[in-house]
Amino acid sequence: MQIEPMCHIRRLVHFVFVAGTTLAASLPVAAQQKIALTPPMGWNSWNFFHCKVTDMNIRQQAQAMATNGMKQAGYVYVNVDDCWEGQRDAQGNIQGNERFSDMKALADYVHRLGLKFGVYSTPGPKTCAGFTGSLGYEQQDAAQYARWGVDFLKYDLCSARNMYKGEEFPGVYKKMADALRATGRPIVFSLSHGDNNRIWSWAAGIGANMWRTGGDIQPRFNDISHRILLQQGLERFAGPGHWNDPDMLEVGNGNLTADSNRLHFGMWCLLAAPLLAGTDLTPVSRETLEILTNPEVIAVDQDSAGIQGRSVWQEGPLSVWVKPLADGSKAVGLVNNGESPNRITAWFRDVRVGDSVEVRDLWARRDLGRFQDSFTAEVPTRGMVLVRIKRVAL
């Protein structure tokens, strides 16, 4: 099944219009897209805590996010990844395990901070870490999430991997998408299906807001630079409400340098990727926080046009990426994956912004002045220069 997302929605909306009230389930697919008109921003437990996460960890991270500037910068979802799931009660309702004894109380705590709460499950019987999955309980789990006040569900392939043929997966995920919408609660639906079955070509059509485009991210430069390249060609599948997801952020994890963290974060923004921080926020270093909260860089990610940036030039380890923005300006990334500093030139004919432009450095938040025909910068080793280029008004 290959559904171009926006066409699919338009068809559904049209059909509802024509058919009157008979298709009550159809219109909410479009409503689902409105939950994530810009790429979701928040924090997820997996990249730092993995399976050791506890209720207390989540509360502390939420508290930190609410007070360290991240909430003001736009981060809102606090998501528990795998390893919270316990058994089902006598009625079949999923419960948290001994480290998550009261999921409703945890959701309430997060909400009281003015934030939103997310959980994780799988369409298979077991999650990737071997905990209880949603197979056969999709509606009951969605209803339970809604009772708890869940705002975000990450739904991960895991044990469903070998249960279905490729063409069956849209239907498998649609079951949960429909169940979530049936609760009437706006819940962001995030799929984790790797790069299987060209998921980007059908995920929005079944009601997903974002979908992973590859395997698990690692806090290593080569992993990050490689997955950036894998986003090329997927631009047309992303847009307001539905996003390609190169995976959660590793900014602040491992041994990434500040320049590489800037490249990682800046490229996620150029790619209009969801921004789910994955580092320990209790406390977080000033350097990591400055990267995660730079308002002008985040504005590139959250731009209302929702266009995923693309590479317009590449030579060896050097490349230039462009993301058109709603006001007609362009965010331009000069990316150096090399082992030494390099000069990179962005030609305005490639950027398509006119010959005479104004350039602003988004990391430094500084105007660099007027430029004719091209802009050249010295780009640090495994780093990136990110600018906003605006045609000079005549």
Interface residues toward ligand GLA, by CB under 6 A:
46, 81-82, 127-129, 156, 192, 216
Closer to ligand GLA by Cβ: residue 117 or 321 = 117
Least distance from ligand GLA to the Cβ atom of residue 150, Å: 16
Tokens of 260: 């590489």
Q: Looking at beta carbons only, is 127 or 288 nearer to ligand GLA?
A: 127
Which residue in 89, 102, 108, 216 is the catalytic one?
A: 216
Residue 82 C-beta: closest distance to ligand GLA, Å: 3
Q: Which is nearer to ligand GLA, 127 or 144 (CB)?
A: 127
Task: Say which residues have a Cβ less than 8 Å from residue 393's Cβ, sequence separation at least 6.
Answer: none
Q: Is 156 a catalytic residue?
A: yes
Q: Name which of 89 and 216 has its Cβ closer to ligand GLA.
A: 216
- 216 as an active site residue: the answer is yes
Dihedral sign from CA coordinates of 303, 305, 308, 313: negative
Give whichever of 71 and 212 is closer to ligand GLA, judged by the CB atom: 212
Minimum separation from the CB atom of position 44 to ligand GLA (A): 8
What is the C-alpha to C-alpha distance for residues 28 and 16, in angstroms, rounded to an integer?
11
Say which of 82, 156, 245, 280 is annotated catalytic. Answer: 156
Report CA dihedral (365, 370, 375, 381) to the nearest 10 degrees: -30
- Looking at 113-233, list the stretches that DSSP marks H as alpha helix, in order from N- to C-terminal side: 138-148, 169-182, 221-229
- Do 74 and 29 contact (CB within 8 A), yes or no? no
Least distance CB 211 / ligand GLA (angstroms): 12
Structure tokens at 277: 């921080």
Nearer to ligand GLA, 193 or 262 (CB): 193
Distance from C-alpha of 118 to C-alpha of 126, rounded to nearest angstrom: 19
Residue 188 phi, psi (nearest 5): -60, 135
Give the span between the Cα atoms of 36 and 239, in whole angstroms. 10
CB of 298 to ligand GLA, least distance (A): 22
b/e per residue, 167-180, with b = 16+ CB within 10 A?
Answer: eebbebbbbbbbbb
Residues 6+ apart with CB under 8 A from 299: none
Task: Name the minimum Å distance from CB 232 to ligand GLA.
Answer: 21
Catalytic residues: 156, 216
